Homo-oligomer: A and B are copies of this chain.
Amino acid sequence: MIGTTSPADPISAPETDHVSDDALCDLTLVHEDRVRAARAARADGSEMEALAETFQVLASPTRLRLIEALTRGEMCVCDLAAVSGVSQSAVSHHLRMMRALRLVRYRKESRMAYYRLDDAHIEAVFRTGLEHVRE
């Protein structure tokens, strides 16, 4: 993965004529200060991976329909299957993923499982995203 042309990996730079602290890579840098700031913030890059996983859950029309439905209140799995237009099995798979990333929570009452959105962040992201695509 650390390929020969990967420009951000200083390992591939020769030690002899390494330009000490001024060059971060072998490419020209225009906003060097911003590059440094961004690379420093990238140190805790695992946060970006967690965030990407969260957005990945949102990156599906079916799951977005589930979320939109849940903005109207809690629903059981069979309701959500009817809403989303896929099989109950598929909904269950989706809900498991959404649970793992804490987008939804559920309570179990006898045979039924009632799902709802986990917190306000989810609905906020959903609505802001919708505003963007509508603009």
Chain A interface (Cβ within 8 Å of chain B)? 3, 5-9, 24-25, 27-31, 34-35, 37-39, 41-42, 45, 47-56, 58-61, 63-65, 68-69, 72-76, 78-79, 81-89, 102, 112, 119, 121-122, 124-126, 128-135
Contact = CB atoms under 8 A, between A and B. Distances in A.
Nearest to A102: B132
5 contacts: A6-B87, A7-B81, A9-B85, A51-B129, A55-B59
Nearest to A56: B59
Nearest to A130: B51
Chain copies in the assembled complex: 2
A73 B31 CA distance: 9
Contacts of A88: 5, 7, 27
A8 B119 contact: no
B7 A112 contact: no
Nearest to A46: B61
B61 A49 contact: yes
Given A82-B27, A125-B125, A68 B132 contact: no
